[in-house]
Structure 1
Amino acid sequence: MSDWERSSTARVVPPARPRKLAKVPFVELADGRVQGVVSSGSDIERVYVSSVAAGTFAFACSTNNNRPCGGARGSFCRHIRTLIDEAALQYGPERVARYLRLDTDVWGTTEDALAVAMIATGPPRGDNAAAASVFSRFLRHLAYLELAPTTAPVPEMQWFPPTRAVA
């Protein structure tokens, strides 16, 4: 077992390439989906919660107040394309392709190839069931940014119960 596996901290994987957080402030590979929060291009107060499911490429996109995206009618909207592009920047196109179970032998692994391949396979319309949990995780991440810098433990980030010393 390596040192990081025995520690109480998680290893952080640096982004594949730097990305602009103003466009997509939150992106993750979780719950069998590439999912995240995408800023609206027209309204600074609006964000979209977008996701694409691994394997089926079922997609969903809605505003932060759960209104459906007008551009996601039968194909990927601009928000979902932006999410996939930013996920490829954050995690690397190969990792995103593997996570989505995309046939890289046919389509390749560039950011554009990922979106083209998913569109070509006829992505089915998904549901917005995960939107609330994705947006909630995003807000929780934002709350941590507001904390004052400290080296003291942050109680809500201590995931493991204290253990008693064995004599």
Structure 2
Amino acid sequence: MSEWERSSTARVSAPSQPRKLAKVPFVELADGRLQGVVSSGSDIARVYVSSVAAGSYAFACSTNNNRPCGGARGSFCNHIQTLVNEATLQFGVQRVARYLRVEVADGELRGPAVTAAMADTRPSPADTKAAAPVFSRFLRHLAYLELAPTTAPLPEMQWFPPTRQAA
């Protein structure tokens, strides 16, 4: 059994390039969307939960208190553009484009190419129901950062079935 199989932590793939964690502390490709948490440019205590749906590019952006973003009216706001740019740094342009089903020109290795390709299709605002689960996962990730590294089991992970030990 390898070391990571005995650990209570999961392997995390390294970002393709360094990211600005203060600007976008949480980004994920999940639930058919690129989604994450983006810090406000004007208020340090405010964050926005932004998402873009794969294929349709329907987007949503609201504060953690479900107040709609004033800039996301008919087109991508700065929060969504920042989210896409940081996602391409984290996962790479090709992976983000493939996940969102965006066609980018060969050799395009930056996030603005992905945003521009989606904006050409005139995306529409989406339902904001995804904001609560995304923000909840972000808060859960923050709680894990406060834990000391250990190989002991985490109580909330006890629902995983036990693995068979080799005899």
TM-score, normalised to structure 2, is: 0.88
Tell me the residue number matched to 1:40.
Answer: 40
Aligned-residue CA RMSD (Å): 2.5
**In structure 1, what residue type is equivalent to 2:44?**
I
**Displaced runs of 4+ in structure 1, greater than 3 A?**
7-11, 105-109, 163-167
- For residues 86 and 144 of structure 1, the distance between their equivalents in structure 2, rounded to whole angstroms, comes to 22
Change (3 A) 1:155 1:108: same
Tell me the residue number matched to 1:92.
Answer: 92
Tell me the residue number matched to 1:128.
Answer: 128
**Secondary structure of the equivalent of 1:71?**
coil
Tell me the residue number matched to 2:137.
Answer: 137
The worse-fitting range, judged by mean Cα deviation, of 92-101 and 106-115 is 106-115
**Contact 1:107–1:114 at 8 Å: present in 2 too?**
no
Aligned residue pair count: 164
Higher relative contact order (CA 8 A, sep 6+): 2
The alpha carbon displacement at 1:11 in A equals 4.1
Tell me the residue number matched to 2:67.
Answer: 67
- For residues 121 and 34 of structure 1, the distance between their equivalents in structure 2, rounded to whole angstroms, comes to 17
- For residues 49 and 87 of structure 2, the distance between their equivalents in structure 1, rounded to whole angstroms, comes to 14
The alpha carbon displacement at 1:161 in A equals 2.3
- For residues 19 and 113 of structure 2, the distance between their equivalents in structure 1, rounded to whole angstroms, comes to 19
Q: Deviations over 1:137-160 (max 9, x none)?
A: 000000111123333222223451
Question: Is 1:24 matched up with 2:24?
Answer: yes
**Contact 1:16–1:92 at 8 Å: present in 2 too?**
yes
**Contact 2:49–2:64 at 8 Å: present in 1 too?**
yes
Tell me the residue number matched to 2:55.
Answer: 55
**Contact 1:59–1:125 at 8 Å: present in 2 too?**
yes
Gaps of 5+ in 2: none
The worse-fitting range, judged by mean Cα deviation, of 86-95 and 9-18 is 9-18
The alpha carbon displacement at 1:81 in A equals 0.2
**Contact 1:107–1:117 at 8 Å: present in 2 too?**
no
**Contact 2:104–2:117 at 8 Å: present in 1 too?**
no
The alpha carbon displacement at 1:165 in A equals 7.0
The worse-fitting range, judged by mean Cα deviation, of 21-30 and 152-161 is 152-161
The alpha carbon displacement at 1:10 in A equals 4.6
**Secondary structure of the equivalent of 2:35?**
strand
- For residues 54 and 109 of structure 1, the distance between their equivalents in structure 2, rounded to whole angstroms, comes to 19
- For residues 30 and 163 of structure 2, the distance between their equivalents in structure 1, rounded to whole angstroms, comes to 29
- For residues 71 and 44 of structure 2, the distance between their equivalents in structure 1, rounded to whole angstroms, comes to 18
Question: Is 1:102 matched up with 2:122?
Answer: no
